[in-house]
């Protein structure tokens, strides 16, 4: 019986392209990025040198809603500022802000300030003053330094990655799992670069890699659908096409500077990828399994089914 299985698998994988998709899937899974923000010269060495470019991240009326999706923990306190230069520096040099990305929201009677702090460095700043308007970047930090009074401060700790690849994501085919890992790592890298205020060229390269890789990955899955006669291939292809079109549309506007890369855009991409893997991709993995398609890895299937049960996904 085991020999027959092995023979069927060997027969099934005699096409070198299919064999590569099933067993390897990806040349190399990228490393997780650990970006370090580039700092300004003293006295502003606690501020990213791209703060003026990056502060658009806080220019979003729904920023709190978006940020709360990345929030892991929040802490509130009363805060007294004295209008002394260097107070903002003191504020962000607290040990907990050096350990994880944070959004710090400071609210007073006539003022609200938002600081995105990536491991102790302010990468984005916004200050809203009643009756005056909003300022961004270094200007916002300077003005906040001059304010005095009682404030309410909220420290929101943000997650350091969007999510991790786990066995519940497995579609029981090693090569396709490797490709999904690639997508998850690249999305997380984009998230970290965004939070770290990395320069535009880094964001561009990571976005390009993501867009190209997605197309390649979809082709790989569709090759398997054709090869093994998956019955819901057309509907699945349509989902792929819709996503590719949406990303292409975004990329066009992004490159023409008509649209920004925001946390909201990133959450949309990441949610789509996660939901698609956990539902539609899972569906073809399960169908292949049920129909004895010989490219299935039994051990991956077992581990994935257990994980999905544990997480209440099935």
> Can you give the binding site for Fe ion, defined by CB under 5 A?
221, 281
Contact 142, 55 (CB under 8 A): no
Nearer to Fe ion, 169 or 191 (CB): 169
Q: How far is the CB of 238 from Fe ion (least distance, A)?
A: 11
Torsion of CA 183, 184, 185, 189, to 10 degrees: 100
Q: How far is the CB of 87 from Fe ion (least distance, A)?
A: 49
Which are the contacts of 225, defined by CB distance < 8 A and separation ≥ 6? 233, 236, 237, 284
Q: How far is the CB of 36 from Fe ion (least distance, A)?
A: 32
Nearer to Fe ion, 168 or 221 (CB): 221
Q: Which long-range contacts (CB under 8 A, 24 or more apart) does 140-143 make?
A: 140/55, 140/113, 141/44, 141/47, 141/51, 141/88, 141/115
Q: How far is the CB of 221 from Fe ion (least distance, A)?
A: 5
Residue showing the smallest CB distance to Fe ion in the complex: 281
Packing angle of the helix pair 174-195, 16-23 (nearest 10 deg): 60
Q: How far is the CB of 246 from Fe ion (least distance, A)?
A: 14
Compute the radius of gyration of the chain from its Cα atoms.
Answer: 24
Which are the contacts of 71, defined by CB distance < 8 A and separation ≥ 6? 103, 156, 157, 158, 159
Nearer to Fe ion, 158 or 224 (CB): 224
Nearer to Fe ion, 68 or 216 (CB): 216
Nearer to Fe ion, 206 or 214 (CB): 214
């Amino acid at each position: 019986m085991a020999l027959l299985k092995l023979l069927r698998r060997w027969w099934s994988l005699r096409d070198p392209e299919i064999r590569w998709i099933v067993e390897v899937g990806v040349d190399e899974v990228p490393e997780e990025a650990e970006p370090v923000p580039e700092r300004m010269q003293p006295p502003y060495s606690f501020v990213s040198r791209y703060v003026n470019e990056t502060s658009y991240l806080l220019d979003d009326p729904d920023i709190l809603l978006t940020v709360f999706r990345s929030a892991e923990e929040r802490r509130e306190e009363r805060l007294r500022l004295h209008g002394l230069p260097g107070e903002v520096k003191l504020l962000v040099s607290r040990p907990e802000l050096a350990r994880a990305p944070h959004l710090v929201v400071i609210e007073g009677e006539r003022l609200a300030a938002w600081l995105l702090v990536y491991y102790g460095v302010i990468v984005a700043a916004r200050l809203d003053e009643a009756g005056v308007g909003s300022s961004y970047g270094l200007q916002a930090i300077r003005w906040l330094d001059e304010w005095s009074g009682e404030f309410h401060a909220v420290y929101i700790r943000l997650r350091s990655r969007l999510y991790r690849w786990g066995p519940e994501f497995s579609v029981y085919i090693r090569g396709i799992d490797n490709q999904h890992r690639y997508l998850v790592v690249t999305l997380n890298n984009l998230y970290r670069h965004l939070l770290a205020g990395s320069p535009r060229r880094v964001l561009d390269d990571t976005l390009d890699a993501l867009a190209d890789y997605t197309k390649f990955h979809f082709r790989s899955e569709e090759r398997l659908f054709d090869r093994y006669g998956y019955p819901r291939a057309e509907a699945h292809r349509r989902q792929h096409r819709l996503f590719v079109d949406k990303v292409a549309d975004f990329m066009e506007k992004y490159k023409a500077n008509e649209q920004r890369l925001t946390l909201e855009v990133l959450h949309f991409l990441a949610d789509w990828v996660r939901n698609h893997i956990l539902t539609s991709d899972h569906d073809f993995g399960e169908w292949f399994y049920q129909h004895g398609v010989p490219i299935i890895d039994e051990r991956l299937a077992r581990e994935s089914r257990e994980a999905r049960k544990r997480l209440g996904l099935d």
